[in-house]
Amino acid sequence: MTTLVLPSNREEGWRWSDLSQLPKLAQRQPTGVAPDDFQWIGTEREGPRLVFVDGQLDAARSQVGPLAIGPVDVTASDHPLGALAGRSGWKLKLGRDHAPHGLVQIVHVSTGAADHLAAEVELDVDAQASIVETYVGDGWANRLTGMRLFKGARLMLSRRLIGSSGFVSLTDRAEIGEGASLIVATLAAGGADTRLDGRCEIRGEGAYAEAAAALLARGRQRHDANLAIRHDVARGMSRQVWRSVADDLSACSVAARVEVARHAQKTDGEQSLKGLLLARSATINAKPELEIFADDVKCAHGATVGELDRHALFYLQSRGIDPEEARALLTRVFVADALDRIGEEAVRTAFYADVENWFGQSQAWVVPSEVEGRVR
Amino acid sequence: MLKIINLHASVDEKPILKGISLAIRPGEIHAIMGPNGSGKSTLSYVLAGRPGYEVTEGSMTLDGEDLLELEPHERSARGLFLGFQYPVEIPGVSNVQFLRTAVNAQRRARGEAELSAGEFLRVAREQAGALGFDMDMMKRGVNVGFSGGEKKRNEMVQMGIIDPRLAVLDETDSGLDIDALRVVGEGINRIMRKPDKAVLLITHYQRLLDLVRPDFVHVLAGGRIVRSGGADLALELEREGYGEMAA
């Protein structure tokens, strides 16, 4: 049995983290009971599907297709959670000009304990894929994903974290080649705490990297994200769109960084970090960072935290919309900046449905005696 | 239909309305006129239930039901519509999405079947067309990028789609050019001048009352109704100003 060594809040990259439930989850035994509904997204062309229950492939309920299960070439020895994920898991390797037949869907079910899994996505020249990962359950799902995109390759990775409780930690390592495009869209709309870590390196000219995320938190939930995009070559473009929504006593924290190397001229990088407090007892931390060594770049960052517009709320209510629905409508608009980045309509629709569900569950989370500052 | 008795209201603990009594029966159009700061908009917000507008004394009922016991959305579902003096912009929410959500929320509250997308669009097209409001604007964010006149016209389109029983229209004529004023005036008559409906029209000027002839005109000054009369009272005010009434 390995000892769980976790970082402390004294380390800058973990200052807003709350990993206190991880030791307990790591010691628990999984129930192994998977739900009947895996939240598959219906698409015109059904693609490969993988189901992992507590990190183990459920072969009977999977259609592996062009994916493979086994050793993967990804490491994150410098990352305390990523290093736990090991070096085996699922792999999608596509040759030149190849694409899977339809949407790749991967469901991770975590049944009460800790499970660790690695993954590797490698797209050769002009290959393309769209992957949706869905996280459900109430354990600790710890994942490490390596992504390598060669010239002109395109990857859309959409993740939805809709587990009822527990913890999801995702560590990404990405390298993007010339003219390639990587978009990672994440929705946290369940009851689990999260830690999202990423390091994305733009290594080919004209490459594009985008991270879009909507983090919804309530109760005493914690979402904590830390992403760095590094521009190593000229003419790269990156976009980061973070939308945090915090209710009750919850907290969302985002540290987003853009690094531009000395020779990465003509870089175009943008960060937009916005937070919405649904209650004044909630917390949102936003830390955009730019580190620029080149002198001919266009980089912008913005960070705002606010409440729902009271005038808009009253306007909606004056037309017959009840306060909860009005809040949901305005919040949905707030996170749309991030979720609209998802290209496929069926996926986008499913993610919006998750947002609606999150509001549908809101009553269960309200702590009336503690939440006096709720925006009405 | 609407009965207001000795209504007192404060904003930030400052008394604004100081004893208003008013009764509006079905089929009637009442105009409220008065100088700036007399409490006209406060009256409209108090009726609609805007947070921050506190009723300190008196009562107001709609069809015998105590409005003070109802939340703003419940008042709307009972048939009360507030036409805003300054309609709010809501980026990201299209007019169509907003109004369909509103109409169906009201229908649900009244125990009626919701409108399908097709049924709603038919009503929306009809009302927008009658008010010369481009359907493309219905697809845009609520009031986003609209001129002042377009916002007011949008309020009337909303009123047409929601089809309320009592409309409280707060300076609907402000910001309108002559042509838009005529369209809005005709819209109010078409939508609201019916035996089972009523209007409380708040305005500064006679010109809207030329198009929407009121049955009663009230002068509000210092938080009280200081004079009431027929349509001729508005003409008198136009000629002579508020003068001593507002003193």
Q: Is the pLDDT confidence value at B244 over 80?
A: no
Cα within 13 Å of Cα(B187), Cβ side:
30
Domain that holds residue A79: 43-362
How close A315 gets to chain B, by Cα (Å)?
7
Query: Is residue A202 one of the residues assigned to a domain?
Result: yes
Rounded distance between C-alpha atoms, residue A130 and residue A109, angstroms: 20
Query: Is residue A58 one of the residues assigned to a domain?
Result: yes
Query: Is residue A5 one of the residues assigned to a domain?
Result: no
- Among A311, A313, A317, the residue to mutate for chain B (most B Cβ within 10 A): A317
Residue (of A90, A117, A84, A127) closest to A105 by Cα position: A90
**DSSP summary character for residue B119:** H
Task: Write the Ramachandran bin of A161: left for phi over 0, alpha for psi from -120 to 50, otherwise beta.
Answer: beta
Phi, psi (rounded to 5 degrees) for A164? -75, -35
Nearest CA in chain B to A337: B92
Rounded distance between C-alpha atoms, residue A48 and residue B179, angstroms: 61
Encode pLDDT of A186-207 as tens digits.
999 999 999 999 999 999 999 9
Rounded distance between C-alpha atoms, residue A131 and residue B204, angstroms: 60
pTM here is: 0.86
Query: Is residue A32 one of the residues assigned to a domain?
Result: no
What are the residue boundaries of the structural domains of chain B, listed by start?
Answer: 2-246
Quick one: B2-246 is in which CATH superfamily? P-loop containing nucleotide triphosphate hydrolases (3.40.50.300)
Determine the average pLDDT of the residues in A32-53: 89
- Provide the pLDDT for residue A367: 36
Query: Is residue A375 one of the residues assigned to a domain?
Result: no
Nearest CA in chain A to B76: A320
Residue (of B22, B23, B30) closest to B1 by Cα position: B23
Residue (of B149, B147, B213) closest to B181 by Cα position: B149
Residue (of A7, A1, A3, A4) closest to A197 by Cα position: A7
Determine the average pLDDT of the residues in A171-176: 98
Encode pLDDT of A105-115 as tens digits.
999 999 999 99
Q: Is the pLDDT confidence value at A369 over 50?
A: no
Quick one: pLDDT band at residue B204, thresholds 50, 70, 90?
confident
- The two tokens of residue B29 are 């159009």
- The two tokens of residue A309 are 């517009």
Q: Is the pLDDT confidence value at B94 over 90?
A: no
Query: Is residue A145 one of the residues assigned to a domain?
Result: yes
Give ipTM to 2 decimals.
0.94
What is the residue type of A283? Answer: T
Encode pLDDT of A233-260 as tens digits.
999 999 999 999 999 999 999 999 999 9
Encode pLDDT of B95-150 as tens digits.
888 999 898 988 888 888 998 888 989 989 999 998 888 888 888 889 998 888 88
Query: Is residue A61 one of the residues assigned to a domain?
Result: yes
Rounded distance between C-alpha atoms, residue A32 and residue A40, angstroms: 20
Please indicate if any CB of chain B lies within 8 Å of the CB of A329.
Answer: yes
Count the Cβ atoms, other than its own, within 10 Å of residue A46. 15
Determine the average pLDDT of the residues in A204-218: 97
Q: How many residues does chain A have?
A: 376
Residues in chain A within 8 Å Cβ distance of B98: 316, 319, 329
Query: Is residue A12 one of the residues assigned to a domain?
Result: no
Residues in chain B within 8 Å Cβ distance of A324: none
> Strands, DSSP E only, in A296-376?
298-307
Please indicate if any CB of chain A lies within 8 Å of the CB of B146.
Answer: no
Q: Is the pLDDT confidence value at A283 over 70?
A: yes
b/e B50-60 (16+ beta carbons within 10 angstroms → b): beebebeebeb
Encode pLDDT of B37-88 as tens digits.
889 999 999 999 999 999 999 999 999 999 999 999 999 999 999 999 999 9
Domain count, chain A: 1
Count the Cβ atoms, other than its own, within 10 Å of residue A303. 17
> Nearest Cβ partner of B77 from A311, A320, A329?
A320
Encode pLDDT of B154-203 as tens digits.
999 999 999 999 999 999 888 788 888 888 899 999 999 999 999 999 98
Rounded distance between C-alpha atoms, residue A159 and residue A212, angstroms: 10
Rounded distance between C-alpha atoms, residue A358 and residue A136, angstroms: 14
Dihedral sign (CA B90, B96, B98, B102): positive
> Nearest Cβ partner of A319 from B71, B89, B158?
B158
Encode pLDDT of A127-157 as tens digits.
999 999 999 999 999 999 999 999 999 999 9
Quick one: pLDDT band at residue A30, thresholds 50, 70, 90?
very high
**pLDDT above 90 covers what percent of chain A?**
84
Please indicate if any CB of chain B lies within 8 Å of the CB of A310.
Answer: yes
